[in-house]
């Protein structure tokens, strides 16, 4: 391939070489001319690396450290290293199904000596694919719903605060409060609309109320953070939502923002800051509550005698280094026994929901032997856990479905908020 | 081929609708406007015809609440070539007769070969705009169409009847076609692309003939329909609801 | 102007559509109030016999080969000529694939006001009051057409058909309009692919709509249908997406069904769908939107997640 040759430094080799009268002919000579060593064509690698943000794709030197830690590789035949190798052999990542399998969990970047950053490469390539119209149908529907309704569940924007009607404690909405608050609670789409997400939101409301937190939510003025849509390639949608949310954040006076979900945490703390200069104090709820453990502990009156294991959310753990706050909360619950799975903390497994995976379930299923969530549930069950505790709103429904589909109905999936609430109220599991 | 798509910005019925104080129409301050869903199909069909037969697609609509730009940018991102909006001292509700007259004025100037529009819209109280455009432009009309293919000065269309029956017509151009559904589901326009359009695209502005007034109907009253009854709601969680349904079926010997 | 009403009848495959009788029945009532005649107008070719099945005060049968199958242009020309000739006070069309091509066109062509999606018509102090559904059936609008003459398009099923059935002898006439040089040419009828089940003959139907979300979820609905001994039916979005064959579509452009059980999963109840199933003996609707219009029509309803309910039912049935 001529185009390829241009880019490769040709190496020449002589069959016969006599230097200073000494015959040094032989196969060990690599420094002279005569034979061309062909390199694989780098075109498809360069095509990826040419995108802003995706430059590191070409740095890969095929050491393969990323493959065994890739959660998708564990249930399929996908690995970051393989993308580079496939590109060498003519697979165009822009139109390959591989493009949609990465959950941006970041475990590969953790071990990569060359810092080949899939968390940046994937959104860059996907953005181009989205513009070119190569989008899996189910993901496109999530984009459309988010664009139309402000949330990927396709629920009415006007009903975003409808869950508060189910709350037995007041849930103040900023628009009605008309005064500054200490804490702005960004609830998030799944806690606002998904039935199991609402359970966690209701628990959070009770905990905040019991702690006497002066807080408010945005209600109908809140829209999805858009970060997972960005990671799935819809940058414009992300920007549109960011502009909306930031204008709402700035409309009211508050000191600290608390978010229910790690993806929102990443969105506001990192992406909104870097791209839009939104720079305000933000905490994930586990951090916020862990900071108030002294006030919280006396409220945790009832035993929750359960064997609990914790699944580190990728976007709280690896992406932001927070491993201790959720564990501190779980350990504060009387009677609760916390056990760790093999894949925890820095090497925590992925639920499959990140980077757009939340809306690619059927697509991914066709490329894996089991769902990532199923793999994780099997691990939790193998460790004898009665409860798989989570701290990300994507995970409850994913793991509950997985518990059912793998025949592990005995394994309960609960948000840490729900466990705290159980201990606070004495509601039995 | 010069293809024009006539679109309508209509109240969204996704949410609870509220009436104005005198109960003669919606409280338009409290309602979102969306592109008529059938017009989404008309746009898609227009782009499909263009892709198959070549030509240019222009999308035109009345800017009822001064928020049509977003709709037009989306159409451009989906493959339309030009966009135009009819502007003036306009406030909702704008009835179909006025819509049709203004659109026909604008479209007549564009010299189209083919005019596509959604077969109906949620606010068509005084009739659908497709046949009205045809009457104004003196063109033939076929509506409830689910497929359009163009060839030498005519289009072949499939018109739907009940029960999955369809009639095939050949229609000489220029003509107006009322689209029920495009051959393919409307494509997704990435917001990234729409935002590019919002920055770069020019939208032509056409003045509405504000002297035109249609007073064919006096809208006396609008209200939520009085239903003969309401379903008996089955309460409880999913399991309880399931049990209740099964009990109902058993009672009636349906199991 | 006369006080007569022209009812534009429809037929498909040699059979008069029920909407024609429904309109004739109502037209008689209105014409009586005005002291005029309800005139059924049938356009076709070789349809003399069917033209004699109305209970109208008079029936005109326009026979021309160009009218054998519906053609919006040819039908439009004939209706416009008849309106010119008879100056009726009201012209009634069905809010159907046929009527929707003609009513609004005639309104502009003959400068007559138009009310679409009508589901009730009354005469109050000599004035016509039309009630129409608007905004996807979420509102009912009461309109009074101004002037001497009006056009309405009437929803299928709004009035009883039996009141319009009869045996008034039809007067056969030649087309009052020139039907040559038509720009719209009928080519052929395309019948649905045979081989699929006929859902109109099924006693139990599980109907799915937009709420089903994605094609993969149809499997669950199919399992539930099988467990109930039912067949799957669908609303338009499902067949449009190609998830189920067109033969499964219930409603305006699909079929009309009257099963003993119509279990609806994720269908909000747009008027177009209601038209095709409202006479089912037992309608149970599951839809998360408590304000969905379907709950005004269903006998029983639930706002639980349809997947949870379907799974729970499957479990219970096993």
Is the pLDDT at C181 greater than 60, yes or no?
yes
Query: What are the domain boundaries of chain A?
Result: 1-39, 52-131, 149-293, 297-425
Region A279-298: mean pLDDT is 98
Q: For chain C, give every domain's residue range.
A: 5-173, 199-317
| Closest CB from C70, C229, C253 relative to B162 | C253
Specify the pLDDT at position A41.
Answer: 76
User: Do the two domains A149-293 and A297-425 of this chain adopt the same fold?
Assistant: yes
Three-state SS for chain C is: CCCCEEEECCEECCEECHHHHHHHHHHHHHHHHHCCCEEEEEEECCCHHHHCCECCCEEEEEECHHHCCCCHHHHHHHHHHHHHHHCCCEEEEECCCCHHHHHHHHHHHCCCCEEEEEEEEEEECCEEEEEEEECCCCEEEEEEECCCCEEEEECCCCCCCHHHECCCCEEEECCCCCCCCCCEEEEEEECCCCCCCCHHHCCEEEEECHHHCCHHHHHHHHHHHHHHCCEEEECHHHHHCCCCCHHHEECCCCECCCCCEEEEECCCCCHHHHCCCCCCCCEEEECCCCCCHHHHCCCEEECCCHHHHHHHHHHHHC
- Chain B positions touching A147 (Cβ under 8 A) are 191
Contact call for B14 and A130, based on CB within 8 A: no
For A22-52, write each residue's pLDDT tens digit: 887 766 555 555 555 566 778 999 999 999 9
Q: What is the mean pLDDT of residues A180-191?
A: 98
Distance (Å) of CA A281 to CA A189, A268, A287, C32, C176: 21, 10, 12, 76, 80
Choosing among C12, C67, C108, which should be mutated to test the B contact, i.e. which has the most B CBs within 10 A?
Answer: C108
**What mean pLDDT comes out for the span B37-57?**
97
What residues of C are in contact with residue A138 (Cβ under 8 Å)? Answer: 214
Helix A235-251 to helix A137-149 angle (10° resolution) is 30
Quote the CATH superfamily of domain C199-317.
TPP-binding domain (3.40.50.1220)
Q: Please report residues of C whose CB lies closer than 8 A to that of B102.
A: none
Least confident of A39-43, A193-197, B219-223, C211-215: A39-43
pLDDT band at C255 (very low <50, low <70, confident <90, very high): confident
The residue among A139, A144, A166, A195 with the most chain C CBs within 10 A of its CB, best to mutate, is A195
CATH architecture of B2-207: 3-Layer(aba) Sandwich (3.40)
pLDDT at residue C113 tops 80: yes
Q: Which residues of B touch A239 (CB under 8 A)?
A: 191, 195
- Res. A142: pLDDT tops 50: yes
Average pLDDT over residues C264-290: 90
Taking only the tens place, the pLDDT of each residue in A82-113 is 999 999 989 999 999 999 999 999 999 999 99
Share of chain C above pLDDT 90, in %: 77
pLDDT of residue A13: 56
Does C13 sit within 8 Å of B216, measured CB to CB?
no
CA atoms of A270 and A275, how far apart (whole Å): 8
Nearest chain B residue to A148, by CA: B34
CB within 8 Å: B216 and C302: no
Say yes or no to pLDDT of A1 above 90. no
Instruction: Find the residue in B nearest to A230 (Cα).
Output: B192
pLDDT of residue A2: 42
Please report all neighbours of C, defined by 3+ CB atom pairs within 8 A. Answer: A, B
pLDDT at A3: 39
Question: Which of B164, B172, B173 should be substituted to probe chain C, the one whose Cβ sees the most C Cβ atoms within 10 Å?
Answer: B164
Model pLDDT for residues A207-256, shown as the tens digit of each residue: 999 999 999 999 999 999 999 999 999 999 999 999 999 999 999 999 99
- Domain ranges within chain B, ordered by starting residue: 2-207
Taking residue A226's Cβ as centre, other Cβ atoms within 10 Å add up to 31
pLDDT number for residue A6: 45
Contact A234 B187 (CB under 8 A): no
pLDDT at B93 over 60: yes
Model confidence, pTM:
0.81
* Neighbour subunits, B (≥3 Cβ pairs < 8 A): A, C
Q: Nearest to residue C244, comparing CAs of C314, C192, C305?
A: C192
C-beta atoms of C214 and A195 within 8 A: no
CA A296 to chain centre: 28
Give contacts of A130 with chain B, Cβ < 8 Å.
190, 192
Q: Does domain A149-293 have CATH number 1.20.120.1200?
A: no
- Chain A interface, mutation test: which of C210, C288, C314, most A Cβ atoms within 10 Å? C288
Confidence of residue A5 (pLDDT cuts 50, 70, 90): very low
Q: Does A131 touch chain B (CB under 8 A)?
A: yes
Interface of C with B in 130-159 (CB under 8 A): 132-147, 150-151, 153
Rounded mean pLDDT, B52-75 = 96
Residue C157, phi-psi category: left (phi > 0), alpha (psi -120 to 50), beta (remainder):
left
3-state secondary structure of B158: strand
Task: For residue C129, give the nearest of B182, B221, A301, A192 by alpha carbon.
Answer: B221
Partner-chain contact A362 C216, CB within 8 Å: yes
| Binary contact (B143, C249; C-beta < 8 A) | no
Per-residue model confidence (pLDDT) at position A35: 54
Residue A37: per-residue pLDDT: 56
Q: What is the fold of C5-173?
A: Rossmann fold (3.40.50)
Give B235's contacts in chain C (Cβ within 8 Å).
302
Query: At the topology level of CATH, where does A297-425 sit?
Result: Rossmann fold (3.40.50)
Both tokens of C117, joined, read 């999606």
Interface of A with B in 223-252 (CB under 8 A): 233-237, 239-240
The full 3-state SS of B184-248, as one line of letters, equals CCCCCCCHHHHHHHHHHCCEEEEECCCCCCCCCEEEEEEECCCCCCCCEECCCCHHHHHHHHHHH
Instruction: Output the average pLDDT for chain C.
Output: 93
Is the per-residue pLDDT at A4 higher than 60? no
**Residue B129 pLDDT more than 90?**
yes
Q: What is the pLDDT of residue B228?
A: 66
Band of residue A7 on the pLDDT scale cut at 50, 70, 90: very low
Round the average pLDDT of chain A to a whole number and report it.
92
Q: Model confidence at C73, in pLDDT bands (50, 70, 90)?
A: very high
């Amino acid at each position: 391939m001529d185009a390829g040759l241009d880019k490769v430094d040709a190496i020449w080799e002589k069959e016969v070489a006599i230097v200073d009268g000494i015959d040094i002919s032989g196969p060990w000579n690599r420094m002279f001319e005569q034979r061309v060593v062909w390199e694989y064509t780098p075109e498809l690698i360069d095509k990826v690396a040419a995108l802003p943000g995706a430059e590191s794709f070409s740095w890969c030197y095929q050491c393969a450290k990323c493959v065994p830690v890739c959660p998708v590789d564990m249930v399929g035949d996908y690995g970051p290293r393989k993308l580079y190798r496939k590109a060498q052999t003519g697979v165009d990542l822009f139109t390959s199904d591989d493009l949609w399998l990465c959950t941006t969990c970041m475990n590969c970047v953790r071990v990569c000596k060359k810092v080949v950053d899939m968390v940046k490469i994937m959104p860059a390539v996907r953005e181009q694919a989205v513009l070119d119209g190569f989008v899996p149908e189910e993901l496109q529907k999530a984009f459309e719903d988010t664009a139309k309704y402000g949330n990927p569940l396709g629920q009415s924007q006007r009903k975003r605060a409808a869950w508060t009607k189910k709350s037995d404690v007041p849930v103040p909405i900023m628009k009605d409060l008309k005064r500054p608050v200490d804490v702005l609670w960004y609830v998030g789409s799944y806690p606002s609309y998904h039935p199991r997400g609402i359970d966690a939101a209701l628990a959070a409301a009770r905990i905040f109320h019991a702690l006497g937190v002066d807080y408010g939510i945005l209600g109908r003025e809140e829209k999805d953070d858009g970060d997972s849509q960005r990671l799935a390639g819809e940058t414009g949608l992300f920007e549109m939502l960011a502009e909306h949310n930031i204008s709402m954040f700035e409309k009211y006076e508050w000191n600290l923002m608390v978010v229910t979900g790690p993806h929102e945490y990443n969105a506001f703390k990192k992406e909104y800051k870097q791209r839009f200069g939104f720079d305000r104090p933000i905490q994930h709820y586990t951090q916020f509550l862990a900071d108030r453990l002294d006030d919280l502990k006396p409220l945790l009156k009832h035993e929750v005698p359960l064997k609990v294991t914790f699944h580190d959310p990728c976007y709280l753990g690896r992406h932001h280094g927070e491993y201790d706050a959720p564990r501190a909360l779980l350990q504060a619950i009387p009677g609760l026994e916390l056990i760790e799975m093999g894949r925890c903390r820095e090497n925590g497994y992925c639920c499959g929901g990140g980077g757009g995976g939340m809306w690619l379930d059927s697509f991914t299923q066709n490329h894996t032997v089991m769902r990532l969530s199923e793999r994780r549930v099997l691990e939790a069950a193998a460790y004898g856990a009665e409860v798989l505790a989570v701290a990300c709103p994507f995970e409850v429904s994913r793991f509950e479905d997985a518990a059912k589909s793998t025949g592990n109905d005995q394994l309960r999936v609960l948000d840490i908020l729900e466990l705290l609430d159980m201990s606070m109220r004495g509601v039995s599991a | 081929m010069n293809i024009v798509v006539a679109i309508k910005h209509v109240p969204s019925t996704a949410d609870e609708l509220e009436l104005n104080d005198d109960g003669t129409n919606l409280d338009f301050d409290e309602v979102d406007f969306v592109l008529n869903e059938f017009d989404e199909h008309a746009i898609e069909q227009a782009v499909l015809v263009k892709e198959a037969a070549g030509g240019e697609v222009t999308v035109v609509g009345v800017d009822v609440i001064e928020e049509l730009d977003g709709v037009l940018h989306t159409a451009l991102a989906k493959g339309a070539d030009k966009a135009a909006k009819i502007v003036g001292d306009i406030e909702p509700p704008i009835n179909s007769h006025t819509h049709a007259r203004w659109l026909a004025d604008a479209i007549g100037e564009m010299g189209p070969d083919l005019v596509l529009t959604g077969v109906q819209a949620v606010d068509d109280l005084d009739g659908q705009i497709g046949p009205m455009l045809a009457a104004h432009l003196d063109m033939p009309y076929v509506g409830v169409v689910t497929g359009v293919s163009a060839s030498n000065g005519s289009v072949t269309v499939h018109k739907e009847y009940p029960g999955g029956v369809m009639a095939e017509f050949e229609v000489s151009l220029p003509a107006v076609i009322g689209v029920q559904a495009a051959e393919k589901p409307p494509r997704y326009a990435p917001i990234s692309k729409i935002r590019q359009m919002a920055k770069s695209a020019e939208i032509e502005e056409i003045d509405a003939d504000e002297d035109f007034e249609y007073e064919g109907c006096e809208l006396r009253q609008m209200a939520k329909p009085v239903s003969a009854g309401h379903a008996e709601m089955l309460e409880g969680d999913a399991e309880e609801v399931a049990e209740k349904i099964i009990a109902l079926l058993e009672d009636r010997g349906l199991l | 102007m006369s006080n007569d009403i022209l009812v534009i009848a429809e037929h498909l495959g040699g059979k008069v559509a029920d909407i024609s009788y429904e309109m004739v029945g109502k037209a008689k009532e209105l014409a009586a109030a005005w002291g005029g005649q309800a005139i059924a107008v049938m356009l076709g070719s070789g349809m003399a016999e069917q033209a004699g099945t109305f209970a109208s005060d008079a029936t005109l049968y326009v026979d021309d080969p160009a009218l054998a199958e519906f053609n919006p242009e040819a039908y439009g020309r004939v209706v416009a000529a008849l309106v010119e000739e008879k100056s009726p006070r009201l012209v009634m069309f069905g809010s159907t694939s046929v009527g929707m091509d003609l009513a609004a066109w005639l309104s502009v062509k003959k400068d007559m006001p138009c009310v679409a999606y009508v589901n009730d018509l009354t005469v109050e102090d000599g004035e016509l009051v039309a009630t129409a559904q608007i905004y996807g059936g979420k509102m009912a609008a009461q309109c009074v057409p101004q002037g001497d003459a009006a056009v309405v398009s009437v929803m299928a099923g709004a009035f009883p058909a039996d009141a319009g059935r009869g045996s008034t002898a039809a007067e056969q006439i030649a087309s009052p309009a020139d039907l040559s040089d038509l720009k719209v040419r009928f080519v052929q009828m395309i019948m649905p692919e045979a081989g699929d089940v006929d859902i109109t003959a099924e006693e139990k139907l599980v109907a799915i709509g937009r709420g089903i979300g994605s094609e993969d979820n149809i499997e669950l609905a199919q399992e539930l249908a099988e467990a109930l001994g039912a067949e799957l039916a669908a609303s338009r979005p499902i067949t449009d997406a190609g998830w189920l064959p067109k033969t499964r579509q219930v409603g305006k452009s699909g079929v009309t069904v009257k099963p003993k059980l119509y279990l609806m999963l994720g269908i909000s109840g747009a008027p177009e769908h209601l038209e095709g199933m409202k006479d089912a003996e037992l309608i149970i609707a599951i839809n998360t939107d408590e304000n969905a219009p379907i709950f005004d029509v269903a006998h029983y309803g639930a706002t639980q997640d349809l997947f949870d309910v379907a799974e729970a039912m499957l479990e219970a049935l096993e």
